[in-house]
Amino acid sequence: MKTSLLTPLLAALALGSAATLPAAVQLSGAGATFPQPLYQRWASEYNKLHPDVQINYQGVGSGAGIKQFTAGTVDFAASDAAMKDEEIAAVKKGAVMIPATAGSIVIAYNLPGVKELKLSRDAYVGIFLGKITNWNDDAIKASNPGVELPDMPINVAYRSDGSGTTFVFTKYLAAISKDFADEVGSDKSVTWPVGAGGKGNDGVTALIKATAGTVGYVEYGYAVNNGLAMASLQNKAGKFIAPDEKSGAATLAGIELPENLRAWPEDPAGDDAYPIATFTWLLLYKTYDDAAKLDALKGFVKWGLTDGQKLASSLGYIPLPEAVVTKDQAALDSVK
């Protein structure tokens, strides 16, 4: 009898306590695939510290992320290509761009038996222009004495979606080659003269892994995590530099961020600088209507700029220099 009386009471108490629990804040973000592994790790780790904040980030490409951000269908976005002034002007709530992490873009390849490969500036520009079409071309052999380069066609893999990775990669190639600037240009999406497209960094990675003789451009972390071979690239100083955290950091060290925090190292001059490294930006609105979302988002980004940076190296990213973090935090304070 006592049990039958207690059961409804306990049920009522349970319902009452559940009703008083604060609802979880849901934050949605979308954009660049370049920082996706890091942002998703940040979301997971931050949720462990703050179970009432749930963050869902989808890597759909920088171009698609900017479109969703402009349309107001996400709480934040991400892009490897900082928004242009005209893109910012189209965002009704305004936009604040915060470089949240950084990384190198590598030329990865699938060439059985070739563990180390050096590519001169003429060679990698020629490959992506479709003018160097075989792996034993003289332009490649000249930089690789003693390496048995196969008589094999070069298959080029590129991003098929609107991509900040493509923007940074083509911006660099256009900066060092007038032919590339004239024939291909630089943007989040370009018409490549040769090759096959894959969606996202993971799509290009899959194409490289699938077929011997394939070469493509991907973010360093994707290459490392998928065991891809990466070429050492000739930089402005004429040195062949392998991609890693140290050489990427040497590139970023030479950048002085302007007030709008938008800058790219187009052709770094340092002897030890890897030629293609970049920041990648979080895109936040200047104003938020939902106070709970505003507090949760600012807390998450602040954590990512500080404690979250400690996770960067293990995932193939370059921790932000302290001077950049200071500027980022000032920009974050402007979000209301």
Per-residue pLDDT, 293: 97
In this structure, what are the phi and psi dihedrals at residue 119, rounded to the nearest 5 degrees?
-125, 125
Can you give the pLDDT at residue 164? 86
Instruction: Single out the residue of 90, 55, 53 nearest to residue 72, CA to CA.
Output: 90
What pLDDT, on the 0 to 100 scale, is given for residue 121? Answer: 97
Instruction: Categorize the per-residue pLDDT at 11 as very low, low, confident or very high, splitting at 50, 70 and 90.
Output: very low
How do beta strands 229-230 and 95-109 pair? Answer: antiparallel
pLDDT in tens, 53-77: 999 999 999 999 999 999 999 999 9
- Which DSSP category does 318 fall into? B
pLDDT of 8 above 90? no
Residues in the chain: 336
Report how far residue 19's alpha carbon sits from residue 94's, in angstroms, rounded to the nearest whole number.
Answer: 36
Of the chain, the percentage scoring pLDDT greater than 90 comes to 79
pLDDT of 22: 54
- Helix, strand, coil % in the chain, rounded to nearest 5: 40, 20, 40
- Residue 239 pLDDT exceeds 50: yes
Single-letter amino acid code for the residue at 75: D
Q: What is the pTM of this model?
A: 0.82
**Topology alike, domains 25-103+279-333 and 104-277:** yes
Amino acid at 170: T
18 or 111: whose pLDDT is higher?
111
Residue 215: is its pLDDT beyond 80? yes
Q: How many helices (H) and strands (E) does the chain have?
A: 13, 12
Mean pLDDT of 179-184: 97
Task: Over range 85-97, report the average pLDDT.
Answer: 96
- pLDDT tens string 257-316: 888 898 877 888 889 999 999 899 999 999 999 999 999 999 999 999 999 999 999 999
Span 128-135, average pLDDT: 98
Q: How open is the CA angle 74-79-81, to the nearest 5 degrees?
A: 145
Whether 15 has a pLDDT exceeding 50, the answer reads no
Q: Which of 2-11, 97-106, 126-135, 297-306 is the least confident region?
A: 2-11
Structural tokens at position 20: 């008083």
* Arithmetic mean of pLDDT over the chain: 91
Q: What is the pLDDT of residue 128?
A: 98
Confidence of residue 13 (pLDDT cuts 50, 70, 90): very low
Where do the domains of the chain lie? 25-103+279-333, 104-277
Going through 6-94 in order, the beta strands assigned E by DSSP cover: 25-31, 53-59, 76-79
As assigned by CATH, the class of the 104-277 domain is alpha beta
Q: In the chain, where do the E strands start and end?
A: 25-31, 53-59, 76-79, 95-109, 118-119, 155-159, 196-198, 214-219, 229-230, 232-234, 240-241, 277-285
Tell me which of 3.50.50.60, 3.30.413.10, 3.40.190.10, 3.30.565.10 is the CATH number of domain 25-103+279-333: 3.40.190.10
Question: Which letter does DSSP use for residue 51 in this model?
Answer: T
